[in-house]
Amino acid sequence: MFELGPALSHLFQVMRSFATSHGVSPVLAILISKIIQTNIIILLVSLVPMLLVYAERKVSAFMQARLGPMNVGPWGIFQTLADGIKLMFKEDVVPSGADWWVHFMAPVVAVAPVFVCYAPVPFGQGLTPVDLNTGVLFILSVSGISTIGILLGGWGSGNKYSMLGGLRAAAQLVSFEIPRVLSVVPVLMWYGSMSLRTIALAQQGRWFNIIPKWFIFYPVIGQVAFIVFLISSVAETNRTPFDIPEAESELVAGFHTEFGGMKFALFFLAEYAYVFLASAMATALFLGGGDGFLLPNGIIPSWIWFLLKTFAIVFLFLWFRWTYPRLRVDRLMQFCWKFLMPWSFVNIALAGALVLVRMR
Amino acid sequence: MTLYHGLALSGIVFSIGVYGVLTRRNVLGILMSIELMFNAANIALVVFNRYLHPGNLWGQGFVLFVITVAAAEAVVGLSLVLAIYRNLKSVYTENMNLLHG
Amino acid sequence: MNSTTVPKTAAEVFPQKPPEKGMFISLGPQHPSTHGVLRVAITVDGENVTSAQPDIGYLHRATEKLAEKRTYPQIIVLTDRLDYLAAMTNNWSFCLAVEKMLGVQIPERAEYIRIIVGELQRIASHCVFLGTYGIDIGAFTPFLVAFGRERERILDLFEEICGARLTYNYIRIGGVMADTPVGWEKKVRDFVKEMWGHITEYDTLLTYNPIFMDRTKNIGTMTPEMAIAWGVTGPNLRATGFRADVRKDDPYGLYSKMKFDIPIGKQGDCWERYWVRISEMRESLKMIEQCLDMIQPGEWMAKLPKVYRVPVGEGYGHLEAPRGDLGFYIVSDGSPSPYRMHIRAPSFINLQALQQLIVGWKVADVIAILGSVDIVLGEVDR
Amino acid sequence: MSHLPSLVFYAMSAALILTAIGVVTMRSVFYSAVSLVAALTVVAGLFLLYGADFLGAAQVLVYIGGIMIIMLFVVMLSQRPHDSMERQTNDQWFRALCLALVIGISLVRGFRIFINQMVSTVVPVPTSASLGRLLLGDMLLPFETVSLILLAALVGAVLFGQDKKS
């Protein structure tokens, strides 16, 4: 009914023609419109974590027989905003044993890649900021840079617990990166593209007019790939049951023990932005992106479908966090290397066989 | 931005890597300098590929192999460093002289 | 431990120099999972613990010395502050010792009330254990369910009978402070009925969770010999498979009339220490139901003079507190206050076993083991 | 607008040379590792600039997401407190500098033969698909060999990494 993508591009078209008709050079107009588009993404990346923090507090509250934030605004909806303002005005404490530069750079390095990672995500029809040809690989690789930020935080704090947290993070994130990449490979093989937009568009259509042709509904390969991707995404975002790097009962707060105020907020922002990013990726790769179901096409615009599915997966993340205890370090590694990896390899082989069958 | 500029950049980075390999006392520093040299070579390969043979991708394929071999080299090298560190409590090259007799 | 090698100074116990191999970690006194102000000095080699030394005394308030300057009824207030998660049993244990020396007969109703509040207290205390142990392992929800929902109900019940939620001063020498308010027994019965369901909920949420079992099964095992050598009592001892419970072995109050089982474990690992406590909650519920069936209206306080002098001599009263065998040893010189009082604090004694229990396990297991021993620092430091 | 790629190239070159110098001269190994991370990121950017999009992503994925994290890991494990005080270069730095200068100058001068080289002006197209065909077609033998090398490296690393006692 109301597709955001065409409307936005039309708006930019009108703005650009208005500017050029009033004597602004076309190069400048394009540049400015690009800057505005970039800022929309940055705004989104900054707002989504706030929403997720609120969702997390409310969801966890209802899972734990309590109410959650209730005082700031109706049902406490402005609580995150208030917290953000508080964090902004907090004193920036750097421990005397810390390495100032590393301590300063750690949250920056952790948060910067997130903004870039949102570029190839297809938020709906005509709403892909940059349709990269290597979109999936791009997201997976660039999000790996954040690990460096965590390591810097662990090293720069001058604290044994932080250091242990950093070391654990390095081991965990490097290990889980592998099944995460491998779990996506069947999708790429099947659709023959690495562009998230192409993959999402290719999943439109129905079997027998009922079952959507989403990748998750492909027998065996779809489900295995989705589960492996989901589990390793939870591990990549350092959330319970895989929050070993920041295990609060063991390492106090792990790599961000010595970070306060805005620096801590940046780490937090990165974590939630990655949760949303992983969910958005899962939606585009496995759940058909903006493809609707049950209702006839067009009643609900694709970007709302996309957000709905994404938030459904975000809810899974929250659910895991508030139900499961934490795994032990060695068990975590065993789980990655002895369970996730073999299954994703088997899955790739299966997907290859299926692709061959389809080619015949 | 021409073929020559890319190659010159590659040469400069390569020579910086050579300097690092020859002067670093720390084994880890040497490993890092070697990575730098690998990357200089990669730049040269990509630049040649881009300007001389854009039609086929043998140069880029080679870069992929270089990256893979670099990964293998780094992993083995680092595990060696750790093994040496565990025994000698040092990462400096001049202390690794057990074969001196 | 050989007596000639006992370290003398703090520097000997806690070396400031880094150890030859591995790293020295000071776990606490400000650490989220030491449950108070406990410090454990740990040396680790990689992730493996090579030695552990508990460092206690941060919460020392000289309770035993304070008791020498107070009259007997005034000391009950002090006992509230020992194991602040189970103040009822502390009161009760002290009163047992004094009553034994005085030779008073306790009215039957008071005995039943004591068992009801004592077992309710055990459930409340184990609820705290369950919640905090969940947090130690990384599960946050059990805490708010067990600590924030069920324990609150019990505290509400206690508030009704004595006006306090943490430090009750309810069980007095010769009986209890006051009779139960009207309708209280019905509320307890309702609570017990609900609690059966809640314990099943804990089982699904935590006890049989695969990750939880993976973290705690076969971790921090303790043999009965080792437990007895360190003087460990309570659920920690029973988890090793050794059947020892003061309520059965040396029955006090009306426990000899109660029908209940003693849950025991097999190998004394963290999970069994946890499981024994969960099963004990069920046994407590059974006992409360029996008491509610048997309790009759009547007196709740024996006739005692306003100021009394305990006869010259010594007395020892002990009972099965939630954390083990809690005993009060009192020496009286005939004056209104004791000449000397000693507390056999189960947390303090169970804590000592940690230095042997932790060694050889991984850093993540240290927290699991520390939490499963379930100490309360108020009692350790006294 | 047409100068933009050139500008980006010169900025990246300057960043790459600076960070590379940082890698070989920084006193703290940790700092030089971080500097190397920056250098490798710039190299990935250069790959993208030259139209090698798959290589750029692979560079970030393998180098920064893998190698450099392990490298930082080892740096953190093998650091001793007094390391930052110690000299990080050996006493042959002057000779090494001369040699490096000779190599650098001769390389740069040697590459001058390419100044007037006819270059193709074909606009680069996305490479992933054709690269994949190349790897599993003409380059199949080296591709399989590399997988063997990786396997050998994996086994070797596990072997060296083991503690003797256990």
Q: Show which subunits contact D, needing at least 3 CB pairs below 8 angstroms.
A: A, B
Among D75, D107, D135, select the one facing B61 at the smallest CB separation: D135
Listed residue (B29, B33, B41) closest to B16, CA to CA: B33
Distance separating alpha carbons of residues A184 and A347, to the nearest angstrom: 10
Of the residues D79, D112, D141, the one at which a domain ends: D79
3-state secondary structure D46-82: HHHHCCCHHHHHHHHHHHHHHHHHHHHHHHHHCCCHH
Distance separating alpha carbons of residues C38 and A88, to the nearest angstrom: 34
Note whether A331 contacts C: Cβ–Cβ < 8 A: yes
What is the CATH topology of the domain spanning B3-94? Helix Hairpins (1.10.287)
Cβ contacts of D66 on chain A, cutoff 8 Å: 144, 174, 177
Cβ contacts of C372 on chain A, cutoff 8 Å: none
Whole domain around residue D7: which residue ranges?
1-79
Q: Are A340 and A231 in contact (CB under 8 A)?
A: yes
The pairing of strands C340-344 and C171-172 is unpaired
Residue B8, Cβ density class (10 Å: 0-12 exposed, 13-18 middle, ≥19 buried): buried
Residue B90, Cβ density class (10 Å: 0-12 exposed, 13-18 middle, ≥19 buried): middle
- Which residue of chain C comes nearest to A329, CA vs CA? C364
Distance separating alpha carbons of residues A186 and C290, to the nearest angstrom: 62
Note whether D58 contacts A: Cβ–Cβ < 8 A: yes
Percentage of chain A beyond pLDDT 70 is 95
Residue among C26, C42, C44, C144 with most chain A CBs within 10 A, to mutate: C144
Cβ contacts of C367 on chain A, cutoff 8 Å: 249-250
Owner of token pair 């009824």: C73
Listed residue (C275, C261, C87, C294) closest to C199, CA to CA: C275
Instruction: Report residue A314 as tokens.
Output: 């975000």
**pLDDT value at residue A249:** 61
Of D124 and B24, more confident: B24
Q: Are C171 and C297 in contact (CB under 8 A)?
A: no
Note whether D71 contacts A: Cβ–Cβ < 8 A: no
Owner of token pair 């000095």: C41
Tell me how crowded residue A349 is: count the other CB atoms within 10 A of its CB: 12
Cβ contacts of A132 on chain D, cutoff 8 Å: 53
Provide residues of C within 8 Å CB-CB of chain A. Answer: 23, 25, 31-33, 47, 134-141, 144-145, 148-149, 205-206, 209, 211-212, 214-215, 362-367
Q: Above 60 in pLDDT, residue C4?
A: no
Note whether D84 contacts B: Cβ–Cβ < 8 A: no
**pLDDT value at residue C6:** 53
**pLDDT value at residue B95:** 72
Q: What is the largest CA-CA distance in chain A?
A: 67
Q: Band of the pLDDT at D39, cuts 50, 70, 90?
A: very high
Q: What is the largest CA-CA distance in chain B?
A: 56
**pLDDT value at residue C1:** 41
Q: Are D89 and B24 in contact (CB under 8 A)?
A: yes
Q: What is the DSSP letter of C149?
A: I
Asked whether residue D29 is assigned to any structural domain, the reply reads yes
The helix (H) or strand (E) run that includes residue C360 is: none
Span A169-189, pLDDT tens digits: 888 888 888 898 889 988 888
Instruction: Report residue B50 as tokens.
Output: 């881009």
Contact A324 C209 (CB under 8 A): yes
Instruction: Report residue A182 as tokens.
Output: 């491998």
Give the number of domains in chain D: 2
Span C214-273, pLDDT tens digits: 888 888 888 888 888 888 888 888 888 888 888 888 888 888 888 888 888 888 888 888
Separation in Å, CA of A178 to nearest CA in chain D: 10
**pLDDT value at residue C2:** 44
Owner of token pair 């609690």: C195
Q: Band of the pLDDT at D164, cuts 50, 70, 90?
A: low
Instruction: Report residue B31 as tokens.
Output: 């490993």
Span C284-302, pLDDT tens digits: 998 898 888 888 888 888 8
Asked whether residue D153 is assigned to any structural domain, the reply reads yes
Of the residues D64, D79, D94, the one at which a domain ends: D79
Q: Give me the domains of chain C, ranges plus CATH numbers.
A: 3-55 (no CATH), 63-374 (1.10.645.10)
Separation in Å, CA of D113 to nearest CA in chain B: 8
Distance separating alpha carbons of residues D144 and D149, to the nearest angstrom: 9
> What type of residue sits at position A15?
M
Contact A250 C214 (CB under 8 A): no
Q: Are D32 and B19 in contact (CB under 8 A)?
A: no
Q: Are A306 and A289 in contact (CB under 8 A)?
A: yes
Residue C220, Cβ density class (10 Å: 0-12 exposed, 13-18 middle, ≥19 buried): buried
Contact D76 A166 (CB under 8 A): yes
3-state secondary structure chain A: CCCHHHHHHHHHHHHHHHHHHCCCCHHHHHHHHHHHHHHHHHHHHHHHHHHHHHHHHHHHHHHCCCCCCCCCCHHHCCHHHHHHHHHHHCCCCCCCCCCHHHHHHHHHHHHHHHHHHCCCCCCCCCCCCCCCCCHHHHHHHHHCHHHHHHHHHHHHCCCHHHHHHHHHHHHHHHHHHHHHHHHHHHHHHHHCCCCHHHHHHHCCCEECCCEECCHHHCCCHHHHHHHHHHHHHHHHCCCCCCCHHHCHHHHCCHHHCCCCHHHHHHHHHHHHHHHHHHHHHHHHHHCCCCCCCCCCCCCCCHHHHHHHHHHHHHHHHHHHHHHCCCCCHHHHHHHHHHHHHHHHHHHHHHHHHHHHHHHC
Contact A323 C139 (CB under 8 A): yes
Distance separating alpha carbons of residues A151 and D73, to the nearest angstrom: 8
Distance separating alpha carbons of residues D134 and D122, to the nearest angstrom: 19
Span A104-140, pLDDT tens digits: 888 888 888 888 888 888 887 777 777 778 888 888 8
Contacts of A352 (CB under 8 A, 6+ apart): A189
Contact A249 C140 (CB under 8 A): no
Distance separating alpha carbons of residues C70 and A134, to the nearest angstrom: 80
Listed residue (C61, D32, C145) closest to A102, CA to CA: D32
Contact C140 A322 (CB under 8 A): yes
Asked whether residue D96 is assigned to any structural domain, the reply reads no
Chains A and B touching, counted as 3 or more CB pairs less than 8 Å apart: no
Q: Above 50 in pLDDT, residue D1?
A: no
Q: Above 70 in pLDDT, residue C20?
A: no
DSSP readout, B19-54? HHHHHB-BHHHHHHHHHHHHHHHHHHHHHHHHHH-S
Contact D111 B11 (CB under 8 A): yes
Span A211-263, pLDDT tens digits: 788 888 888 888 888 999 999 888 888 877 787 766 666 666 777 777 878 88
Listed residue (C51, C7, C23, C44) closest to C354, CA to CA: C51
- Helices A26-63 and A261-286: crossing angle in degrees, nearest 10, is 90
Residue among D76, D79, D166 with most chain A CBs within 10 A, to mutate: D76
Contact C138 A65 (CB under 8 A): no
Does residue C334 sit in helix, strand or coil? coil
Cβ contacts of A166 on chain D, cutoff 8 Å: 76
Note whether B88 contacts D: Cβ–Cβ < 8 A: no
Please enumerate, as own/partner, the contacts of D57-61 that have beta carbons within 8 Å and a separation of 24 or more: D57/A134, D57/A137, D57/A138, D57/A141, D58/A137, D58/A141, D58/B64, D58/B67, D59/B42, D59/B67, D60/A141, D60/A142, D60/A144, D60/A145, D61/A137, D61/A140, D61/A141, D61/A144, D61/A177, D61/A181
User: Which of A4-8, A258-262, D118-122 has the largest mean confidence?
Assistant: A258-262
- Helices A261-286 and A145-156: crossing angle in degrees, nearest 10, is 160
Q: Above 80 in pLDDT, residue A144?
A: yes
Residues across chain C: 382
Tell me how crowded residue D146 is: count the other CB atoms within 10 A of its CB: 20
Q: What is the DSSP letter of C30?
A: S
Listed residue (C103, C70, C81) closest to C174, CA to CA: C103
Percentage of chain A beyond pLDDT 90 is 1
What backbone torsions phi and psi does residue A115 show, to the nearest 5 degrees? -60, -40
Contact A64 C212 (CB under 8 A): no
Of B55 and C177, more confident: C177
Percentage of chain C beyond pLDDT 70 is 93
Asked whether residue D108 is assigned to any structural domain, the reply reads no
Note whether B45 contacts D: Cβ–Cβ < 8 A: no
Residue among A141, A147, A345 with most chain D CBs within 10 A, to mutate: A141
**Shared-domain flag, residues D5 and D62:** yes
Contact D47 B46 (CB under 8 A): yes
Tell me how crowded residue A243 is: count the other CB atoms within 10 A of its CB: 22
The CB-side HSE value for C353 (13 A sphere, CA atoms) comes to: 28
Note whether D19 contacts A: Cβ–Cβ < 8 A: no
Domain edges within chain A:
78-359
Q: In D, residues 92-121, which contact B (CB 8 Å cutoff)? A: 92-93, 95-97, 99-101, 103-104, 107-108, 110-112, 114-115, 117, 119-120
Of A350 and A163, more confident: A350
Residue among B3, B13, B25 with most chain D CBs within 10 A, to mutate: B13
Note whether D19 contacts B: Cβ–Cβ < 8 A: no
